[in-house]
Amino acid sequence: MAPNEFLVPKDILEKEFYNLIKDKAITSIEQLDKKVLDKALKLRNLLKSPERIRKIAKFVADDFKRRIEPSGFKAFLVGVDREACALLKEELDKYLPSAYSHVVFTPAHNDNELLKKYQLREDEEKKIKKNFLENELPKILIVTSKLLTGFDAPILYAMYLDKPMNDHSLLQAIARVNRPLPAKELNSRKTAGLIIDFIGIFEKLEKALRFDSVDIKGVVVNIEEKKKEFVNLIKKGKFYLEIVGKKIDDKAVEKILDYFDHDKKKIQDFTKFYNDLAALFEVISPDPFLRPYLDQYFLLSGIFNVLKVNIIDKGISEDIWKKTMKLVQEKTRVEGLVTTLPIYPIDERAINLIQQDSSPIRVRIIKIHRSIKILIETQGPNEPFLYLFREKIEKILEEFETKQIGTKEALKKLEGLIQEINKAREERQKLGLKEKEFAFYYALGDYLSDINKRKQLSYKINELFSRYSNWLDNPEDGRMLRTKLIASLLPFVKNQKENPLDIIRNILISKILPLQKEIETISAN
């Protein structure tokens, strides 16, 4: 509900709207305009009074900037008639850039000068609607009946409703803001639509929507109810807050990771709890009601971020939403927020550092896993043999998560990978191979023990990929490359016990081709 100063006095609303619609079946917005609002002169004059238009425009501009725009969403402003739309536009331009809003209505041949100013040609209207559907200007469409039916715009989140409606026309309007928008399309999530009621229609929803109460249950929910839900969830989150205390520092990060311990049930429970809480925060913000809860919400967001960044779990993939992110960024500048554990340098010092680390073993496992992953991402382009370790670290982590191995064995295996990486780096220095040649040389290690043969083959493989550099996009190049690779590999494996072609197929499919594909993908990016 908009503040009381904007709402239509109940006696006027009753006499000029509810009494007029009592015996009429209004099934469209056009019928509502013709049968009811044309007769409701006192109501229309009230809604279009200059003082009220000014106040509405200022409220909409302020609210849009604070509540809607930060999330990247858009809005409708619904005036009682076409003249009201034009008047609202004139005032709104005093508080927002003119390009932010556009009036869209059906023109008439006898329109006055004010209405003619906002008439649109068909091609102009088409372009405005197209831009509105995308992340371009305008951000607000000012309408009275046009676009309130049949115009599906998932990016539309808010409707500022300054027009009395009922039954099907009201449901149609509600439906405009109720189109789901996947997060990937806007880097934000839309879990509901928001209607700001300047009339008072929603105070008596059963009267405005004369349907079975079962049909309208849950169609609209007063935001006050959402505030109660938010408070209840904050109380539920007290348990998680006790884990971290008053701030998230290095010790708190360790406690968080030690508590969740790759336990999928615990992680799923917290993720659902936090997503529900964040959805409410995004809807309610920036209401002053939230102030007493901001510190707790900030810490719960910190816990979520710690899990998302440090624990490799497919259930922790959602980004923190825009208003939440803004809060976190603002508070971080003041208080600081640690969300990641320090990593180990993957070199000859690593094993000693791990063994001297007083963190719980589970936390050390996460640190090593992240350290190796970061090494692969950052150093892989310079040392492509590192890409061969992706599958190895994920296999160890999967065995640990599924309890196939315990903490000590997982730690031992990860330490073994670090030693293997260090040993491989030493070997490359001794052999004097180029980076890509050594990557192929290392990939062949499981199949060929003879160092000279592996070196010879790595030169040949690298030369073939250079010759057929378009192998991924050109089918003929791809076929020729595979033929040449098989011919090059055959002399080196033909004397082994297994079928030579099976060995070659395994080398190419599981090692050489995926490795080259990753090298080329990284280079392209």
Instruction: Using alpha carbons, select from 233, 352, 349 the residue that is nearest to residue 297.
Output: 233
Interval 423-445: pLDDT, tens: 999 999 999 899 999 999 999 99
Mapped onto helix, strand or coil, the DSSP state of residue 329 is helix
Beta-bridge mates of residue 409: none
Give Cα separations from 388 to 311, 394, 488 (angstroms): 22, 11, 22
CATH topology of domain 4-220: Rossmann fold (3.40.50)
The token duo for 505 is 């197929």
DSSP H or E segment with residue 288: none
Give Cα separations from 319 to 72, 403, 409 (angstroms): 15, 29, 33
Residue with tokens 């971290």: 244
Indicate the pTM of the whole model.
0.68
Tell me what the mean pLDDT of segment 208-232 comes to: 79
Interval 324-348: pLDDT, tens: 777 767 666 545 555 666 788 888 8
DSSP H or E segment with residue 76: strand 74-78
Interval 274-317: pLDDT, tens: 989 998 998 898 888 999 999 999 899 888 888 887 775 444 55
Rounded CA-CA distance 414/350 in Å is 11
Rounded CA-CA distance 410/233 in Å is 36
Interval 110-169: pLDDT, tens: 999 999 999 999 999 999 999 999 889 999 999 999 999 889 999 999 999 999 998 888
Delimit the domains of the chain by residue range: 4-220, 225-335, 434-525
| Beta carbons of 314 and 337 less than 8 angstroms apart | no
Interval 364-386: pLDDT, tens: 888 898 899 889 989 999 999 99
Looking at the chain, the number of H-run helices and the number of E-run strands are 26, 5
- pLDDT exceeds cutoff 70 at 184: no
